[in-house]
Amino acid sequence: MVAPPQVNFRLFEFQNEPNSGQGAQLWYHDHTEDFTGRNVYMGLAGFYVLEDELDARYQLEGKLPTGLAGDSTRAPTAWHDIPLVIQDRRFDANGQLNYDAVFDQSGVFGDTILVNGVVQPFFQVDRGQYRFRILNGSNVRVYLLTLSNPQARNTRLTFTQIGTDGGLLPKPVVRDSIELAPAERVEVVVDFSGVASMQSVILENHGDEQADGGRTAQIMRFDVVDRPAPPRITIPDPLRTVRDYFNPSGTGRDFLDLRVGLSSRPKPVTRAFEFDRGGGEFSINGQHFAGPCQLHGEPERFDAIVVEGTDEIWEVSNSSGGWYHPVHIHDNEWQVLDRNGQPPAPWEVGWKETFFLRQDTVRVLAHFETERDPKFPEFRGTYVFHCHVMEHEDHMMMSQFSVVEHQGDRPPPTPTDNCPPSTGTGG
Ligand SMILES: [Cu+2]
């Protein structure tokens, strides 16, 4: 059975400010410079759910499936909110992970799929609706997820996507398949009511990178059993609105209005970052990562000084298309303004911090909060952004930006070669 009985359940407390607290499914992992890929491959990663008031209320009112797997106050049969961390690994003849044996700086693929650390996972479900919080925790593999019932002529089931990296979407989106790049997350509701009991539904992978003779084509199995399901839910539509930054005490307005309102706001700072591979090396704007200069003997790399309280538009692109790059920016949640000049797909309009680039150009918008309580300087500091193919990141496809205090009308400082204290690189 997939993880729930084996999950280590821990409680973390976050200081969420009223009205701004935003739920999300998040993961944390080792970020050691040059060794992130190896360390995550060997297991230094975890997943957690940060729940906000809106989501909690939906669950309380029976509008979203409830019962987080691992919650010891409920019977396991009541768990209908299931985190699924998908990773691919390769094992040696002794059943041990051997990263060095399969190391490739373009990215380390495995030929065996694990879900929540379990090989050949399966999970018993009733004929009700389940919420799955799915993370692609793989080093490089991109999944194309579908749901299929082989005992009913491979009938496809749909996903109703309700969330993304940064929590609930503005509106639920029904999808037949979902492409998920490393570090991306989706939340979906799956309805098993149309499946006969004693049949199984397979979560399949149709991604075509290193398919390994079909070994990575099946991710996990859901066995439908005859037991009572919870009352049926109707997913709210719309699901959420976002806070209006100009009227924080207001009730919020429709998600996309933040983009419409852009013209009436101070002009955002725009920056462009090209993720490229040249001469076999991974780079951003043609340059490599350089961390704290005490370690590197060369100037520390900073590409942006962000002034708190302002909006930023970053254009991230991969024009060569020779490799794909899921670009991950630490510290903040962003909205996709456009992808290759077109409006984002309905599943990409939520808050996100990982943006998948094949041969794409994506523009994203974020607002950087003003520090409200100097005792908790959680917004200011130095953060990294990088490709989340971990071997690309380890091969220097990474840079840094700093978030600094707003100093009235004085112009913001420019990136320097100084060694500022490095803080706040979590996320
Ligand atoms: Cu990359």
Domains 4-224 and 257-404 agree in fold: yes
Three-state DSSP class for 5? helix
Q: What are phi and psi of 391, to 5 degrees?
A: -75, -30
CA separation for the pair 206, 179 (Å, rounded):
9
133 C-alpha to ligand 1 centroid (Å): 24
Closest alpha carbon to 14 in 382, 378, 421, 333: 378
Closest alpha carbon to 56 in 68, 72, 48: 68
**Strands 200-205 and 118-119, sheet pairing:** unpaired
Percent of the chain with pLDDT over 90: 58
Closest alpha carbon to 40 in 32, 50, 49: 32
329 C-alpha to ligand 1 centroid (Å): 13
Are 224 and 201 spatial neighbours (Cβ–Cβ below 8 Å)? yes
Does the pLDDT at position 221 exceed 80?
A: yes
The pLDDT value given to residue 9 = 59
pLDDT (tens digit, 9 = 90+) per residue, 98-138? 998 889 999 999 999 999 999 999 999 999 999 999 999 99
The pLDDT value given to residue 416 = 54
**279 contacts: CB under 8 Å, gap ≥ 6:** none
Does the pLDDT at position 25 exceed 90?
A: no
**24 contacts: CB under 8 Å, gap ≥ 6:** 50, 163, 165, 166, 167, 185, 333, 351
pLDDT (tens digit, 9 = 90+) per residue, 6-18? 555 566 565 544 4
Cβ < 5 A residues, ion ligand 1: 325, 387, 389, 392
323 C-alpha to ligand 1 centroid (Å): 7
Does the pLDDT at position 256 exceed 60?
A: no
Give me the sign of the Cα torsion angle 416, 417, 422, 424: positive
Does the pLDDT at position 244 exceed 60?
A: no
278 C-alpha to ligand 1 centroid (Å): 12
416 C-alpha to ligand 1 centroid (Å): 26
- Tell me which fold the domain 4-224 belongs to: Immunoglobulin-like (2.60.40)
The pLDDT value given to residue 245 = 43
Percent of the chain with pLDDT over 70: 81
pLDDT (tens digit, 9 = 90+) per residue, 369-386? 776 666 655 678 889 999
Are 406 and 335 spatial neighbours (Cβ–Cβ below 8 Å)? no
Which residue's entry shows tokens 């013209």?
263
The architecture in CATH of the region 257-404 reads Sandwich (2.60)
Band (pLDDT 50/70/90 cuts) for residue 248 is very low
The pLDDT value given to residue 3 = 45
pLDDT (tens digit, 9 = 90+) per residue, 280-312? 789 999 998 887 665 666 678 889 999 887 889
395 C-alpha to ligand 1 centroid (Å): 9
Closest alpha carbon to 24 in 169, 156, 229: 169
What is the domain partition of the chain in residue ranges?
A: 4-224, 257-404
357 C-alpha to ligand 1 centroid (Å): 9
The pLDDT value given to residue 267 = 77
